[in-house]
Amino acid sequence: MASTPLRVLVITGSVRRGRLSDRVSTFVMQRLARLDGVAAELADLGAIDLPVMEERLGRIDPPPPGLVELGAAIEGADAIVIVSPEYNHGYPGALKNALDYFLPQFKRTPVALVTVSGGGHGGVNAWAQLVTVLVYMGAFVLPQTVAVAKVQDSFAADGTAIDPAYEKRVDGMLAELVWLAGRLRD
Ligand SMILES: Cc1cc2nc3c(=O)[nH]c(=O)nc-3n(C[C@H](O)[C@H](O)[C@H](O)COP(=O)(O)O)c2cc1C
């Protein structure tokens, strides 16, 4: 009997109107769809519209719409990919706000980071900040990462990689993520 698929959750960390990094999330979902034994799900923070965090999940009654579902998706995931833009040498406040609703849900969860910038550095500053936060939260942050520079030139609106080098980079990162998630699940 085939084993249950590994559940990989892709979180889009941008809620900006006219955003571009959702193209990268679409691309990651497309690459995940090519993998056997993987069931991918997308959590788009732009579609959830979480209010400013006043208390963590489990301590707010009633919880804001979408929060319980997001928490269940994170908790149920065998692995997570966070796609985050870089804003002012950091990652977006909306993403930090979402992360702060949670803590135990990330424990021992393999997390891969994909950072996105309009400039040439690929969001390395956002990456450094996310590593700090996620390690504190107990996630196993993957050393393999993908930094997308000049997203406007690198990805088309439908998520196609204009620069095909991203196919190899993302596939390599996902292979490591799926390997680790499989080991941890077993
Ligand atoms: C508020 C803000 C701050 C930004 N700061 C940086 C930055 O520090 N470094 C950089 O390379 N790009 C920066 N950019 C460009 C973004 O990385 C680029 O617009 C990218 O597309 C952001 O993802 P998004 O389109 O999903 O919002 C900034 C953009 C915004 C809106």
Write down the pTM of the prediction.
0.97
Q: Is residue 3 part of a domain?
A: no
Q: What digits encode the pLDDT tens for the residues 67-104?
A: 999 999 999 999 999 999 999 999 999 999 999 999 99
CB-count burial class (<10 Å; 0-12, 13-18, 19+) for 24: buried
Distance from the CA of 120 to the center of ligand 1, in angstroms?
A: 11
Q: Which domain holds residue 153?
A: 8-185
Closest by CA position to 161, among listed 97, 93, 100, 114: 114
User: Residue 11 in 3-state DSSP?
Assistant: strand
Q: Is residue 1 part of a domain?
A: no
**Quick check: CB of 7 below 6 Å from ligand 1?**
no
- For residue 89, the domain's CATH number is 3.40.50.360
Inform me whether the pLDDT recorded for 55 exceeds 50: yes
Distances, alpha carbon 79 to alpha carbons 87, 91, 144, 148, 183, in Å: 25, 20, 14, 21, 11
Banded model confidence at residue 3, pLDDT cuts 50, 70, 90: confident
Q: Is residue 166 part of a domain?
A: yes
**Vertex 71 angle, CA 4 and 58, to 5°:** 135
**Quick check: CB of 86 below 6 Å from ligand 1?**
yes
Q: What digits encode the pLDDT tens for the residues 5-25?
A: 999 999 999 999 999 999 999
Q: Give residue 1's pLDDT.
A: 45
Return the percentage of the chain with pLDDT > 90, whole number.
Answer: 97
Q: What digits encode the pLDDT tens for the residues 114-169?
A: 999 999 999 999 999 999 999 999 999 999 999 999 999 999 999 999 999 999 99
Inform me whether the pLDDT recorded for 175 exceeds 80: yes
Ligand 1, atom 14, lies closest to the CA of 87
Which atom of ligand 1 is nearest to 86's Cα? Answer: 17
Look at the chain and report how many structural domains it folds into. Answer: 1
Q: Is residue 30 part of a domain?
A: yes
Q: Is residue 145 part of a domain?
A: yes
Q: Is residue 108 part of a domain?
A: yes
Q: Is residue 2 part of a domain?
A: no
Inform me whether the pLDDT recorded for 31 exceeds 70: yes
